[in-house]
């Protein structure tokens, strides 16, 4: 029973943080609808089963089963995950490649990563946490180079100059994307 309430509290806290971050840059609908699939039976009950409070239950499910059905469900429904944007690329001999992400989803991904680090690291969280977490896995991510550059710009700004600077830049990026048609 404690896993049920622990998992529910964790996802509610995470969603509230992402919502606040998205509102801060003007992504109101994305903030309100962020990660709603986590309440679906496929994701929620696996989250309860593998809840530990310090890491994503999806990682625990992967360690246990070799894959995570909850993660496969989640990434296929949430455009702020770069994995959603994987496709066969005819320019790369039909290899699976990262497609360019609309900027609004890159910004939501940034908000998601900051919120996840804040939730899971608790009192150990710093403005550099999301950048440090990203560095551990970036070498094997399949993400479009422009989307990666945008994400890394925001994560580095957060680490080096703080939250205010990073969110101000995210807002600028969204405004430019609206002008460029890459919103």
pLDDT of residue 175: 98
Q: Which residues contact 170 (CB under 8 A, 6 or more apart)?
A: 25, 107, 110, 111, 154
Tens digit of each residue's pLDDT (9 = 90 or more) over 108-127: 999 999 999 999 999 999 99
For residue 171, pLDDT beyond 90 = yes
Tens digit of each residue's pLDDT (9 = 90 or more) over 152-167: 999 999 999 999 999 9
pLDDT of residue 148: 98
- Burial profile 101-122: b = 16 or more Cβ within 10 angstroms, e = fewer: bebbbbbbbbbbbbbbbbbbee
pLDDT band of residue 80 (cuts 50, 70, 90) is very high
Tens digit of each residue's pLDDT (9 = 90 or more) over 4-47: 999 999 999 999 999 999 999 999 999 999 999 999 999 999 99
For residue 1, pLDDT beyond 90 = no
């Amino acid at each position: 029973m404690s896993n049920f309430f622990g998992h529910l509290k964790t996802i509610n806290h995470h969603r509230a943080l992402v919502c606040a971050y998205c509102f801060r840059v003007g992504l109101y609908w994305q903030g309100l609808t962020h990660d709603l699939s986590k309440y679906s039976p496929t994701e929620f009950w696996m989250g309860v089963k593998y809840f530990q409070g310090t890491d994503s239950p999806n990682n625990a499910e992967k360690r246990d089963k070799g894959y995570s059905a909850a993660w496969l469900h989640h990434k296929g429904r949430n455009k702020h995950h770069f994995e959603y944007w994987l496709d066969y690329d005819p320019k790369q001999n039909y290899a699976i490649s990262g497609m360019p992400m609309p900027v609004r989803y890159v910004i939501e991904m940034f908000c998601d990563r900051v919120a996840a680090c804040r939730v899971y690291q608790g009192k150990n969280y710093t403005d550099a946490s999301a950048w440090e977490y990203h560095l551990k896995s970036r070498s094997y991510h399949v993400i479009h180079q422009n989307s990666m550059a945008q994400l890394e710009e925001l994560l580095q700004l957060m680490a080096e100059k703080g939250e205010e600077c990073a969110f101000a830049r995210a807002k600028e990026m969204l405004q430019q994307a609206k002008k460029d048609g890459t919103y």
